[in-house]
Amino acid sequence: MSQENMDDYIQQGIHGIREIKPDERRKFLGTLRERVVVVLTKQQVREPGTYKEIEDLMKKNKDATLFLNGTMDYNEMSDYIKIANKIGSKFIISTNKEANTDLGLVLAYDHAINKEDIYIKKQKEQIEVQKHENHFSQFFKKIF
């Protein structure tokens, strides 16, 4: 073993294995952005009920793991845990107290998939958009 390899081996013994992209891993609850299927913010996870899109994506991506933010109250994430159990998806509660992230839920693979759009609009925003579209279409129906 060369001196450089020996130094690396000793450093790993002292400090642990060097992590790739530690800031990104903290943000995405222990995984990398390139592996992510979908995320929800803590605020979205706290909303009453669940996002249907999450359940649908969990069903379509059964080999993906659901990462939940362990700094949140268990009751806030329990509905998503129930969904994971029902579908048979693996889930992990990430409890890194040093991680300062606004994410509450991450569905990700153990390999890169490089999905571009991983964010879901808040349910309230979706309802407002639907209301706006309905008013808009009713307006045009009255005109024509």
**pTM for the structure as a whole:** 0.75
Lowest pLDDT segment from 32-41, 85-94, 130-139: 130-139
- What's the confidence (pLDDT) of residue 132? 46
Phi-psi region of 107 (alpha: psi -120 to 50; beta: other; left: phi over 0): beta
Q: What is the DSSP string of 11-22?
A: HHHHH-SPPSSH
How many whole angstroms from its chain centre is CA 40? 5
Q: How far apart are CA 105 and CA 46, in angstroms?
A: 11
Segment 17-40, tens digit of pLDDT: 667 899 999 999 999 999 999 999
Neighbour tally for 30: CB within 10 Å: 18
Question: What is the tens place of the pLDDT at every residue in 36-73?
Answer: 999 999 999 999 999 999 999 999 999 999 999 999 99
**Terminal Cα-to-Cα distance of the chain (whole angstroms):** 82
